[in-house]
Amino acid sequence: MTATVPPTLVGQGFDRIDGRAKVTGAARYTAEVALPALAHAVIVGARTGAGSVRSIDTRAALAAGAVAVFTHENMPKVARVPTFPSAYGRAAPGQTFFPMQDNTIHYFGQPIAVVVADTFEVAQHAAELIEADYDHAPAVVRLDDGRAEKYVPDSVFCGLIPATQSRGDFAAAERTAAHTFDATYHFAANHHNPIECSATAAVWDGDTVTVYDATQGITASQLTIAAYLDISPANVRVIANFVGGGFGGKAMIWPHVTLAPIIARELGRAVKVVLTREQMFYGTGLREEQEQRITLACDDDGTLTGMRHHKLSVTSHFDDWAELSLDIAGKAYGIPNWDGQYQLIRGNTMTPTFMRGPGEASGMVALECAVDELAEQIGMDPVRLRLRNHATVDPESGDPWTSDGYAECLRTAAERFGWSRRDRAAGPVRDGNWLLGWGMGTAGYPHYLPGQPQRAHARLLADGMLVVQAGTQDFGTGVATTMAQVAGDVLSLPFDHVRIDIGDTRYPNIAAAVGSTGAGILSAAVHTACSDLLAQLISLAIGDPESPLHRRAPEDIEPLGGALRVRTDPAVADDFAEILARNALTDLEAIGSWQPPAPDIPYGKISFGAQFAEVAVDPDLGLIRVRRMVGAFAPGRVLNAKLARSQVLGGLNWGMSQALMEATLCDPRDGRWANSSLLEYPLPVQADAPEVDISFIEVNDPVVNPLGVKGLGELGMVGAAAAIVNAVHHATGRRIREIPIRIEHLI
């Protein structure tokens, strides 16, 4: 028998295993779930941004065919409102306010009624017939309307992060600096717009509920529903077969997810609730409107000695939330004296939440615009200024990075972009009426470690198929595909001999895929499970007098092409199938449980990258076109070249969209988001997309997880907008500190 050596699967650019189902429409998303006797629930949102419901008339809705209408008067009370992170495991409610428990209104669009009917169309029609009277109060949604009431909380991010932080002595550094620079950058509110609107369906069987949910964390949905309803998580099964994008908007478990099982229990039948596109602007959090003031101090040679970073942002009336914009911005450079503060304004909005590159997609953009401005002020090349100041250790703790790669990213991207040809002296570069400009920025994102073990189930069947199951979900990242690659490599099986089952909490438990953790925790859990399985196979073979491997040392044996072989003599082999058959086993299985390193291991944990952009500006019309972007990223190990590139491609384009397009604007009369539709909330289309060049610098990371995967869901967006804003300055000589840049800023 000749052993064919399968090529290593990890790293190759396999197509998504669910790609065909998605593009042919065979994939069924939550909104399409069909259940016997399914009732359709439609949420009615408040038409005022603050105040209370005085009265609500449901008669017309019921007359029009609604089978039930729930308002604050008859909606069952939730048992408790869990917090995040919470005493209830990983329950992850997006906010600590749950609607329809009383008549108070905190934000426009807040659910005030749920109308249920036999068909979606009747439910929608009946929902329009709900008449509510309000006591109106003034709604504060915009930063400018609440500025006078700003406060410094003790902590932000659900009590996890102190609002005021410092190291060294910034004031002294500022006093003694050769140069200082100070500016404030403003970021508009942004809303997630995944293709799939959020949806949840629930059906009870006795005291157990099955919930279909469009979520980034089926386990988080399970734990959150269980906490609200005060039932055991064992009585909540959550299924998410396909999820059409999340970007952070499906990372937390928003109220509609719990409303579905509550109403299904009340009515004794299956219920499905699907948010409309407009309700996505009132139902799944947002990236808060914010401004960030950055003050930099440096020596004559460009060495940064001090940084002050104060962020002012809008949060809700019930949570002190700010995305963590100070985190990586405060660590990317080796600055000894640092002063950071989160300041908040209470607004009539939902609690803000994670959105792609949460924290860093604003914090690193503000910093990287400021660093560009400082470079110009002191007459130093922006790349050189960054290389001079890159933190070689975590400046907060003095600990080494688990892995770095920043300087290689900068040099690689600069080289591929042609940065050395950037002419700074000869004045504007023109292409017809277009002014051309080049700019760059740094990408950085923290590597988060979950506290709990991460588990997967691996099962080798008698026919040689390997089935791997995990309680995770694929929301477009391709995580199932990478799981098959990791599993196949451990047992040396071809890609198509691995089947992946995910999207069901009956599979072993995995944390929510948030903050770019998915690829790291999944690859680790799958690697652990398959390694356990391999150890069992080896043990069976060497203990079996009939095996050619009998009494061999385990370390001398390796898997290859569906068999175990002696490393030094591959002809001595025992097929997986024969091992199972001789032992009368239909299958062999293992649950792998991977315990992540403790969060306080003495390492700084960041993924770095570098972003470059070329823009063309028409100064007469105020038009900006991004012509090309070049990015280099160091995400540890790349599991799948194609998926990694896709992920980052999306990030770069979103960075462009952040810099030039996306803003949710509030109508101050009632606190309504005035452009809550895809017609009016501008998103890039293919014609806007620049030419993109992406490189990965694979750095060995022996610390974070078995395969050294740091993840790159967020990284590709971070700093991209700064590269564009800086390029606009290079083209026009104008510093615009308002994001997105709009036509009126340029003409």
Taking CB under 6 A as the binding criterion, the range among 137-145, 166-174, 247-255, 595-603 that sits at the site for ligand MOS is 247-255
Scan residues 336-355 and list those touching ligand MOS (CB under 6 A). 354-355
- Does 111 sit near ligand MOS (CB under 6 A)? no
Q: Nearer to ligand MOS by C-beta: 286 or 537?
A: 286
Distances (CA, A) of 452 to 66, 510, 597, 713: 44, 9, 10, 21
Residue 185 burial (CB < 10 Å; 0-12/13-18/19+)?
A: buried
| 3-class DSSP assignment, residue 369 | helix
Q: Whole-number minimum distance, CB 506 to ligand MOS, in Å? A: 24
Q: Whole-number minimum distance, CB 738 to ligand MOS, in Å? A: 23
The only residue of 358, 488, 635, 740 in contact with ligand MOS, by rule CB under 6 A: 358
Q: Whole-number minimum distance, CB 243 to ligand MOS, in Å? A: 11
The residue length of the chain stands at 747
Q: Whole-number minimum distance, CB 349 to ligand MOS, in Å? A: 18
Asked if the bond preceding 6 is cis, omega within 30° of 0, the reply is no
- Does 508 sit near ligand MOS (CB under 6 A)? no
Q: Nearer to ligand MOS by C-beta: 122 or 717?
A: 717
- Does 243 sit near ligand MOS (CB under 6 A)? no
Strand 39-45 relative to strand 271-274, pairing? parallel
Q: Whole-number minimum distance, CB 372 to ligand MOS, in Å? A: 25
Distance of CA 35 to the CA centre of its chain: 30
Angle, CA 91 vertex, CA 86 and CA 92 arms, to 5°: 95
CB 253 within 8 A of CB 215: yes
Q: Nearer to ligand MOS by C-beta: 219 or 732?
A: 219
How many binding residues for ligand MOS (CB under 6 A)?
Answer: 13
Q: Lay out the site mask for ligand MOS across 652-691 (x = CB under 6 A, - = otherwise).
A: ----------------------------------------
CB 317 within 8 A of CB 51: no
The only residue of 45, 49, 248, 444 in contact with ligand MOS, by rule CB under 6 A: 248
The only residue of 188, 514, 703, 728 in contact with ligand MOS, by rule CB under 6 A: 514
The only residue of 251, 253, 312, 644 in contact with ligand MOS, by rule CB under 6 A: 251
- Does 518 sit near ligand MOS (CB under 6 A)? no
Q: Whole-number minimum distance, CB 623 to ligand MOS, in Å? A: 30
Q: Nearer to ligand MOS by C-beta: 358 or 650?
A: 358
Distance CA 207, CA 261 (A): 11
Distance CA 394, CA 401 (A): 6
Q: In what helix (H) or strand (E) does residue 135 lie, and over which residues does it extend?
A: strand 131-136
CB 634 within 8 A of CB 445: no
Q: Whole-number minimum distance, CB 283 to ligand MOS, in Å? A: 16
Q: Nearer to ligand MOS by C-beta: 403 or 516?
A: 516
Strand 179-187 relative to strand 738-739, pairing? parallel
Query: Pick from 185, 212, 186: which is nearest to 198 by CA?
Result: 212
Q: Whole-number minimum distance, CB 388 to ligand MOS, in Å? A: 31
Kindly report the three-state secondary structure assignment for every residue of 49-106: CCEEEEEEECHHHHHCCCCEEEECCCCCCCCCCCCCCCCCCCCCECCCCCCCCCCEEC
Distance CA 167, CA 326 (A): 13
Query: Pick from 316, 307, 315, 319: which is nearest to 290 by CA?
Result: 315
Q: Nearer to ligand MOS by C-beta: 216 or 279?
A: 216
CB 3 within 8 A of CB 31: no
- Does 356 sit near ligand MOS (CB under 6 A)? yes
Q: Nearer to ligand MOS by C-beta: 246 or 650?
A: 246
Distance CA 513, CA 306 (A): 35
Q: Whole-number minimum distance, CB 518 to ligand MOS, in Å? A: 9
Q: Nearer to ligand MOS by C-beta: 247 or 338?
A: 247
Residue 714 a catalytic site member: yes
Q: Whole-number minimum distance, CB 364 to ligand MOS, in Å? A: 14
Q: Nearer to ligand MOS by C-beta: 114 or 355?
A: 355
Q: Nearer to ligand MOS by C-beta: 99 or 248?
A: 248
> How many CB atoms neighbour CB 645 within 10 A?
18
**DSSP assignment, residue 15?**
P
Q: Whole-number minimum distance, CB 528 to ligand MOS, in Å? A: 23
Taking CB under 6 A as the binding criterion, the range among 44-52, 113-121, 244-252, 659-667 that sits at the site for ligand MOS is 244-252
Asked if the bond preceding 446 is cis, omega within 30° of 0, the reply is no
Distance CA 181, CA 654 (A): 28
CB 290 within 8 A of CB 187: yes
Taking CB under 6 A as the binding criterion, the range among 163-171, 243-251, 261-269, 317-325 that sits at the site for ligand MOS is 243-251
Scan residues 203-232 and list those touching ligand MOS (CB under 6 A). 216
The only residue of 246, 340, 635, 655 in contact with ligand MOS, by rule CB under 6 A: 246
Q: Nearer to ligand MOS by C-beta: 287 or 308?
A: 287
Q: Nearer to ligand MOS by C-beta: 446 or 740?
A: 446
Distance CA 130, CA 62 (A): 9
The only residue of 515, 520, 609, 690 in contact with ligand MOS, by rule CB under 6 A: 515
Alpha-helical (H) ranges within 455-517 are 479-491
Distance CA 18, CA 580 (A): 30
Query: Pick from 190, 205, 199, 255: which is nearest to 40 by CA?
Result: 199
Q: Which of 196, 714, 738, 744 is catalytic?
A: 714
Scan residues 695-734 and list those touching ligand MOS (CB under 6 A). 713-714
Instruction: Name the residue with the smallest CB distance to ligand MOS.
Output: 248
- Does 247 sit near ligand MOS (CB under 6 A)? yes
> How many CB atoms neighbour CB 52 within 10 A?
18
- Does 366 sit near ligand MOS (CB under 6 A)? no
Distances (CA, A) of 616 to 135, 437, 683, 721: 50, 6, 19, 15
Q: Whole-number minimum distance, CB 409 to ligand MOS, in Å? A: 21
Scan residues 595-634 and list those touching ligand MOS (CB under 6 A). none
CB 520 within 8 A of CB 446: no
* Residues at the contact surface with ligand MOS, assessed by CB under 6 A: 216, 246-248, 251, 354-356, 358, 514-515, 713-714
Which residues are identified as catalytic?
Answer: 714
